[in-house]
Structure 1
C-alpha cells in the first residue's frame, strides 16, 4: 500500500510540474513579445510559435488531467481495498468477541457445577517443586512456567476461579490473580480461608517471602467484588503476616458500588 500511495502522489506531482513548466514557458514568450527592440519578422515568428504552444497547451492539459485521474483512481482504489479489509476485520473481531463471551459463559457454568472445596490440610504439594533452581541468579524460565502452571491448575478448585494466573516473575514473590463468579457470601469467606491456608503451606517454601493476591468475583452482571491481600515475612523461617487487606464492591464500569 505504501508503493501505491507513492505512485499516486508521483502522478500528481508530475502533473503539477508540467503545469509549472508550461506556465513559465508562456510567461517567457509574453516577456519576449513585449520587448520593443525586435524586428517585425521576429515578432511574426514569436506569434506563430505562441499559437503552436497554445495548441500544445491543450494536449498537455489532457495529459495532466489523465495523470491526475490515474493518481486519484489509485488513491480511491486503495481506499476501497482498505475499507473492505477493515470491514472484514471488524466482522471477524465481532465474531471472535462473541465466541469469547460464549466460552466465558461456558467456563462459568462449568465452574459453577464444580463444588468449592476446602483447602486440604496436607496442602497441594508446594514443596514438591524445585524452588532452589527458581531462586538462582540464572533462573530456568521453563521451570518457572511449569511451577506457575502446576500451581494454577492445582489451586483453582479451592479458589473457585475460572481464570487463575500465577506469576513468579518477582524474586521471592508469588502473585495470584483470580477471577470467579459467585453470589454466595459463605463461598467468598471460604475462599479467603483457603487463601490463608495456601499462605500457611507456603511457609514451608523458604524461597518465598511475599504472596500477593488479587481476586475479582462477579456477583452479578452489574456488580463485582475485588479482594486484595498480601502475605509477607522478613525471614524464611518466619510465619506469613496478613497485610493490606482490602475489599471493594465495584460496578462493571469500574466505579465503586
Structure 2
C-alpha cells in the first residue's frame, strides 16, 4: 500500500526543484561574470593623447593576453609614471634603430628601409638609455600616442617591457551611453538572460520527463493517482507560467542585442572616420619627419676615419657567423656614417664563393647645403675603406627630396681587385637639375 508518510510531499519536492534551479541559474550567471572579469577589463581614458582614435572620457575594453603585434593599441603601466597608459605599439623586438643625438631613427621593416622608418625626438634621459642599442631587445616595445604633439609615451619613458602590458584593446565602448560602462553591462545582461532562460527550460523539461516515466497507473492506489493528477496539473500550470517568463526574458534579451547591434554599426562608422583621421596624422608625421631632415646638416668626415678597420669584417665571409654578424655590422655602419651622409642606410652583399664584399650606401637629405659636403665626405670614406678586407666594390647613392620628389645628387661605383689596393671610380652621375 502507498503510505504518505514514506514519501516527501508534493510541495516539498516542488520547492526543492525550484531551489536547485535557482542555485543552478545563479551558478551559471556567476561563472559567466567570473570568466568575463578575469579575461577582460575596462579602463577610462583621460586626455587626448590617442585622439582621434580614442576620445577623452571614453571607456575601452582591454583583453588580457600577451600576444602583441605592431600597431596594436595596448594598456600598460610605465615604470616611472603613475597610472595606466593606452598607446600604440610602433616598434617591436628586432626592429633596427639608430640614435643620432636625441633623434631616434626606427626601421620598421627590413625589405624597404626608407619607406618604413619612423623618426622621433627622444628625451635626454631616454636617448642616453638607448644610445648603445642598435635594435629593440626581445620582450620590449616602443610605443607612441596617435596624437603625438601631446602624448606622453616611449619618447619620454623609454621602451616598455612585455610584463608591464596588461592587454590589448578589443573595443571602444560607445559614448551614446554616458561613460560606456553601462553599455557593456547591457550586453552582459542580454547574455545572462538567454542563459537563465535556457536553464529554466532545461529544469521544466527534466520535470516533465520524470512525470512521464510513471506508467501503468492501475497498479497504484487511488490516493496516489489522485495526487499524481494534481501534481501534473500543477506542473502544467508552472510550465505555462515559466513559458511566459522565458518568452519575456528572450524578448528582453533580443531587444538588448538589437541595441548592441545598432551601437556596433555606429562604432563601425566611427572607426572608419577615425581611420581616415589616422591617415591624415600619418601624412602629418611624414611632413614633420621631412622638416626635421631638412634641418640636419652633415659634418665633415674625419681625416683619421671613423674606425672602419676596427669592425670584424671576416665574419661576413664565414658561413656560420654571417647570418648573425651582417645585421649588426650594417646597423653599426649606419650609425657611424649618418652624421656625414644624412639619413643613410648601409647594406652589405656577400659573395661567399669568391670571398668578396660589396658595400652599398643609400642616403636621403633635404638640406641644399649638404650636397658639396657629401661629395667631399665620399672621397675620405673611400680612402678609409681601403683597409676593409675582402671589400671589392662600394656603391654610393645619395638622393635629395624636394617637394616630395627625389633627386639624385650623388651616385658612384668604386672597384678594386685586391685588398690594400686603392679603389678606382668606375662611374658616377652628374648632379641633376
Matched position secondary structure for 2:387: coil
Match of 2:133 in 1: none
Distance 1:144 1:248 in 2: 32
Structure 2 equivalent of residue 231 of structure 1: 414
What is the Cα deviation at residue 97 of structure 1? 4.4
| Alpha-carbon distance between aligned partners in 1 of 2:272 and 2:345, rounded to the nearest angstrom | 29
* Higher helix fraction (1 or 2): 1
Change (3 A) 1:85 1:177: farther
Equivalent of 2:335, from 137, 153, 157?
Answer: 153
Measure how far apart 1:115 and its partner are.
3.1
Query: Structure 2: where are the runs of 5+ without partners?
Result: 1-266, 352-356
Match of 1:179 in 2: 364
Deviation string, structure 1 residues 79-106 (Cα, Å, up to 9, x no partner): xxxxx989967963x5554444333333
Q: Structure 1 residues 115, 230: closer, same or farther in 2, change over 3 A? A: same
User: 2:350 maps to what in 1?
Assistant: 170
1:207 matched to 2:390: yes
Correspondence 1:84-233 to 2 at 5 A:
92=275, 94-95=276-277, 97-161=279-343, 164-171=344-351, 172-184=357-369, 187-218=370-401, 220-221=402-403, 223-226=405-408, 227-233=410-416
Unmatched 5+ residue regions in structure 1?
Answer: 1-83, 250-256
Let me know the Cα RMSD of the aligned residues.
2.8
Q: Considering only CA atoms, is the larger Rg found in Structure 1 or Structure 2?
A: 1
TM-score normalised according to structure 1 size: 0.55
CA contact (8 A) 1:211 1:232 kept: yes
- Measure the CA separation in 2 of the matches of 1:96 and 1:234: 52
Residues 22-76 of structure 1 show CA distances to partners (whole Å, capped at 9, x for unaligned) of xxxxxxxxxxxxxxxxxxxxxxxxxxxxxxxxxxxxxxxxxxxxxxxxxxxxxxx
Q: Which residue of 2 aligns with 1:56?
A: none
Q: Which has the higher strand share?
A: 2
The alignment's TM-score, normalised by the length of structure 2, stands at 0.34
Where has structure 1 moved over 4 Å in runs of 4 or more? 84-91, 94-97
Cα 1:91–1:153, aligned 2, differ >3 Å: closer, same or farther? Answer: same
Confirm or deny: 8 A CA contact 1:134 1:144 kept in the other structure. Answer: yes
